[in-house]
Structure 1
Amino acid sequence: MADMQTLHAAFAARIDAILNALEMEGTLPSETPRGNVTVEPPRDPSHGDLATNAAMVLAKQAKTNPRALAEKIVEHLDRDPDITSTEIAGPGFINMRLSDDAWRRELEAIAALGADYGSSTMGDGRTVNIEYVSANPTGPMHMGHCRGAVVGDALAGLLEFAGHRVVREYYVNDAGGQVDVLARSAHLRYKEALGEDIGEIPEGLYPGDYLKPVGERLQQQFGDAYKDAPESEWLPIFREQAVAAMMDMIREDLALLGIHHDLFSSEAELQAAKKPEAAEAWLREHGFVYDGVLEAPKGKAPPEDWEPVELPLFRSTQFGDDQDRPIKKSNGAWTYFGADLAYHLQKAQGADELIDIWGADHAGTVKRIKAAVAALSEGEGKAIPFDVKLVQMVQLTRNGEPIKMSKRSGNFVTIADMVEEVGKDVVRFTMLTRKPEAQMEFDFAKVVEASKDNPVFYLQYAHARIRSTMRKAGVEPSGKHLDRLGADELALVREAAQFPRVVESAAKAREPHRIAFFLGDLAAAFHSFWNAGNDDPSKRIIQEGDAELSAARLFLADAVGQVIRNGLAILGVEAVEEM
């Protein structure tokens, strides 16, 4: 059953077979490239059920005009019993209307394929490394991390459903100055655990109470051995211990959202293994890094203490950046960019494609890191596609009033707080109801509102309605009498049948929010179908005295529920059974 083709795949295969026949008869040259041929619904549903651009994109190779080639394709399409009519539109698009039986068979395919309906082999097992979250290990996960975490995880689920092998990776920034600050903050809490009155947390240290348990564990482990010891003795130990404690906390917070990474890569380990040095050597050898002097800061007078210093620079201007970028600081330490180069080289060695999910505040870095990955991937002897998805921050409100947050002061809304108040599924789905690059407001009151204006409720209510109907029916759903389904029912099938195509287009664009948008449209179509029965009893799903029609409509409702579950599973959201 799992080999059954969905409607869109089947008609794409039929168009392909027609093009094969046109090659055989000499209308098309042999082995004409078909990568740009599409078979999808026309933008205006009144034009038909499916449309293909085959004549438009292949006419040049056929040395004819698109309409002439379209006529040849239509000759073959008109012999297909599942196509009731064809029309050549505009410069050569071919619109097709399908038979009712074609849609009824698609309903059977949804039932037969079940949880596999909509899955694809387009990924062909290629390995995609998706790095997301990668928050500094200095405290609990907060709302500033949430949207990128959900987008990254949903993208991973989408690409797996579309046939890719996915590696979910978290890059632990444990080599910068912020982890030294963390260690000093933990040392203060350690002294507090030893009974010392530490007073107000000094400016520049992390003040949050989340470090108290870390201090207590350090006190239990080391007693008072480091109470008055010089910093040089305890800093490396406390840094390692505090980072480990923070990462345990971060994993627990992410688990509340249903997020689990396959790989945690340490920046400190990367540097200890001399990976940045290896990357620099290769880049120098290929002319991408040279020793040069940075220009003075533009647009204003340089600071009094500014002086030209020779540094190793990456030729990012060669790739459209406004200046070449240093990979090392004047003290010999790696810049964030320099360390990032080596990290991406490491990722490229184990993947066919890289995707990073970043906050929108990192937009200025995108061009140069893409350039660096392009350069480094040459060293691997293969082009490594690399994409950066930018995610805007979320404005938190309650009944329209903003909620303030500040990580450094310790007064922030954590992911744990959020999940406890509104639930994992509400958080995850809401984060996908806007494009990631669009501004978003998360109103704690509105996301739990029981109204059709709340997309989470509206969708979950559609599924709960279906499940409730199935429980109360007293009749088993059956595909034996699908000929009883008329125009209104088949319109709902058409909506559900878009799912496989949406999965492939969303996976191709790397945009999981398209699944959420589709589910919203499907829920609206189902509610409209249901509500028609309130005005006209003959349109209700369960028809007293007509078991065949009831069984057929239940079969349809069950299929719509299956598609909703499949879509929600991609997004990491559970479909509720009752509300």
Structure 2
Amino acid sequence: MSENKTLYAAYAEKIDAVLSALEAEGALPPDTNRDNVSVEPPRDPSHGDLATNAAMVLAKQARSNPRALAEKIVEHLDRDPTVTSAEIAGPGFINLRLSPSVWLDEVAAVAATGDDYGKSTVGAGTRVNIEYVSANPTGPMHMGHCRGAVVGDALASLLEHAGHEVIREYYVNDAGGQVDTLARSAHLRYLEALGEDIGDIPEGMYPGEYLIPVGKAAADEFGQRFVNEPEHEWLPIFRAYAVERMMDMIKSDLAQLGIEHDVFSSEAALQAAQKPESAEAWMREHDLVYDGVLEKPKGKTVDDWEPVELPLFRSTRFGDDQDRPIKKSDGKWTYFGADLAYHMQKAEKADALIDIWGADHAGTVKRIKAAVAALSEGEGKPIPFDVKLVQMVQLLRGGEPVKMSKRSGNFVTIADMVEEVGKDVVRFTMLTRKPEAQMDFDFAKVVEASKDNPVFYVQYAHARICSILRRAKDEGLSPSSDQLSLLGEDEFTLVKQAAQFPREVEAAARAREPHRIAFYLYDLAAAFHAYWNLGNDDAEKRIIVAQEPDLSAARLFLSQQIGQIIRNGLGILGVEAVEEL
């Protein structure tokens, strides 16, 4: 097998060659559509090593029953020296058993490729823009942002491993009313730093203590200049000043999670550059925006509703339930209008777009997908676009909820989290559930040293392997691939689990689901722990058997490669593979 090709892809090519041979023989029609042919592990490992549905999905085109076609496929597969058996199961599935040499070659492939084992070229350099976090720049990062940040960052890494070029982007929402509130709140802290008694923070302002150093820095820079000036003089200055410092804080918080973005796009800059106006003009040119009146909202009486003509995007053409205004009646851009222009901007430099949003944005998914679909239509090229919704995390301490409120300033920051339990625990834990599923994060449970704690269980497997290798070195033993043929069925069970890794990377990348890697690592760790535990009951099954140096060297080599795969998988998730616990 060539580098970057999974074992399953290699056998898919073998199946494909068989199908081409059958076409040449006339058993299949020319140019048979093979898109739905798959090669994957059977659901029940006792059925074999690989299974293919080729006969099942091609029988209709072949004008044959599946079992008859399967027999012809099996006839060819029996000629392959790496296939020890090819059996027809049920209505026409084909189960393959592979030669031990195939699995031993895969172990050697892990050693040969090292840190690159599991990397793929399926992305073919496609440029994907992933926008994630994009929290309002009004305070430090807290647990409400954490899960989406980790999911987005792990997805970016996963897609890079699968051969994509990735742009990590953060959209700075610095044009809304909340930024004016931030500016006024920072100005209050500025007055406080100059010695004024500001009393209680007024309702509606941001009372968090994180603005105290911002106010002090402003006092040092501006002195008395903005103490008695009218608001219209200092508001734009304090807006830009506070946003810049909040973004510095946000970048610092994200860095503690190991997260760095390539691009920070400003909503204010987008509007200053008149990108929404350009987007509107482009959409009118392509008959995607028209001037119209929205239907009267339900529940409104004649007295409190007036029909207003607004520029409306034709989102119903793309599956939305109504056309959407891109401007308000006062001429300001709606959130949707600004977002539409922003997505047009992103699409200029990417082949595909992915947004990581909180679940509270579910209501806007349909319309923004409609907008990107319209963009694709107008540009004449498909722009794949996916929105991943991430559920909030309930933060617990000893089973009791920890209350968070950004406006009151009473919240747990990401910096607090990382300081208490560590970056790796936070990141891995955030990927132990599907992002659309609810999650509890209990400070006590995430640091438990038990099988029920996935991050510990996976890191312990790696640390255990490192410990075994250190002990072997002390005893004068070293890993070797010279006698891998001495490995038996127990080792092959572990190898078959390990060999899933490249396939899992490709599958997770195609599905845009980095949590699959966390799930896989847990299963691999469980398989290794089970293998190690065999030696508790039978000394001959220990990894190091003093009287069997060649067998020990082979088992050490296998263990070393399992450690390599765990490191590679954790690397995708942005988690360190520790050598000691």
Q: TM-score range by the shorter chain?
A: over 0.9
Structure 2 residue 208 is the aligned partner of structure 1 residue 208: yes
Please tell me the residue identity of whatever aligns with 1:150. V
* Deviation string, structure 1 residues 58-89 (Cα, Å, up to 9, x no partner): 33333333322222211111111111111122
- Checking the alignment, whether the CA contact within 8 Å between 2:4 and 2:117 is kept in structure 1 is no
Q: Decide whether the 8 Å contact of 1:356 with 1:387 is kept in 2.
A: yes
Matches within 5 A, 1:2-401: 3=3, 5-298=5-298, 300-302=299-301, 305-401=304-400
Q: Deviations over 1:477-496 (max 9, x none)?
A: 00111111110111000111
User: Quick check: 2:313–2:324 contact (8 Å CA) kept in 1?
Assistant: yes
In the TM superposition, residue 455 of structure 1 has moved relative to its aligned partner by 0.6
Question: Secondary structure of the equivalent of 2:520?
Answer: helix
User: How far 1:561 sits from its partner (Å)?
Assistant: 0.5
Aligned ranges 1:412-431 → 2 under 5 Å: 412-431=411-430
The one-letter amino acid of 1:388's match is V
Aligned residue identity for 2:12: A
Which of these residues, 558, 564, 568, is aligned with residue 562 of structure 1?
Answer: 564
Q: Aligned pair in 2 of structure 1 residues 254, 304: CA closer, same or farther (>3 Å)?
A: farther
Q: 1:87 to 1:567 in 2, by over 3 A?
A: same
Superimposed CA distance per residue, residues 498-528 of structure 1 (whole angstroms, 9 cap, x where no aligned partner): 1111111111111010000000001111111
What's the counterpart of residue 457 of structure 2?
458
Distance 1:164 1:279 in 2: 28
Residue deviations 1:154-183 (CA, integer Å, cap 9, x gap): 101111000111100001111111111111
1:482 and 2:484 equivalent?
yes
What CA distance in whole angstroms lies between the structure 2 residues aligned with 1:303 and 1:140? Answer: 45
**Deviation of the 1:302 alpha carbon:** 4.9
Contact 2:130/2:152, CA 8 A, preserved across alignment: yes
The answer as to whether partners of 2:4 and 2:119 remain within 8 angstroms in 1 is: no
Identify unmatched segments of 5+ residues in structure 2.
none
Q: Does structure 2 retain, via aligned residues, the 8 Å contact 1:477–1:554?
A: yes
Deviation, structure 1 residue 94: 1.1
CA distance in 2 between counterparts of 1:302 and 1:19 reads 68
Q: Summarize deviations over 1:85-115 as a string: whole Å, max 9, x none.
A: 1112233221111122211111111111111
1:404 maps to what in 2? Answer: 403
Distance in 2, matches of 1:547 and 1:514, equals 37
Deviation at 1:34, TM superposition (A): 2.7
Q: Match for 1:513: what amino acid? A: H
Q: Per-residue CA shift, 1:363-412, capped at 9, x if unaligned?
A: 11101100011001223221100000000000000111110000000000
- Per the alignment, do residues 455 and 304 of structure 1 end up closer, same or farther by CA in structure 2, a change over 3 Å counting? farther
Matched, 1:573 2:575: yes
1:250 and 1:304, CA in 2 relative to 1: closer, same or farther beyond 3 A? farther
Instruction: For residue 420 of structure 1, report the CA deviation from its aligned partner.
Output: 0.3
Deviation at 1:2, TM superposition (A): 7.2
User: Which blocks of at least 5 consecutive residues in structure 1 are unaligned?
Assistant: none
2:496 match: 494
The farther-off stretch of 311-320 and 69-78 is 311-320
AA in 2 matched with 1:271? Q
CA shift, 1:441, in A, is 0.1
One-letter amino acid of the structure 1 residue matched with residue 555 of structure 2:
R
Question: Following the alignment from structure 1 to structure 2, what is the Cα–Cα distance between the partners of residues 304 and 562?
Answer: 71
Q: Quick check: 10-19 or 235-244, which moved more?
A: 10-19
Aligned to 1:473: 472
Other-structure match for 1:513: 515
Match of 2:537 among 526, 535, 538: 535
Other structure's SS at 1:157 match: helix
What displacement does 1:307 show?
2.5
CA drift at 1:312: 1.1
Distance apart, 1:303 and its partner CA: 9.5
**Matched AA of 2:403:** K
Q: CA deviation at 1:353?
A: 0.5
Q: Could you tell me the TM-score, scaled by structure 1's length? A: 0.97
In the alignment, the residues of structure 2 paired with residue 335 and residue 546 of structure 1 have an alpha-carbon distance, to the nearest angstrom, of: 73
Listed one character per residue, the Cα deviations across residues 540-561 of structure 1 (whole Å, up to 9, x for unaligned) are 1000121101100001111111
SS of corresponding position for 2:480 = coil
The code of the aligned residue for 1:257 comes to: L
8 Å CA contact retained: 1:348, 1:377: no
Q: Aligned partners of 2:451, 2:303: CA distance in 1, in Å?
A: 60
Secondary structure of 1:130's match? strand
Query: Structure 2 CA distance, aligned partners of 1:174 and 1:106?
Result: 51
Identity score, percent? 77
1:522 maps to 524
Greater alpha carbon shift after TM alignment, 544-553 vs 377-386: 377-386
SS in 2 for 1:356: strand
One-letter amino acid of the counterpart of residue 417, structure 1: D
Distance 1:320 1:496 in 2: 43
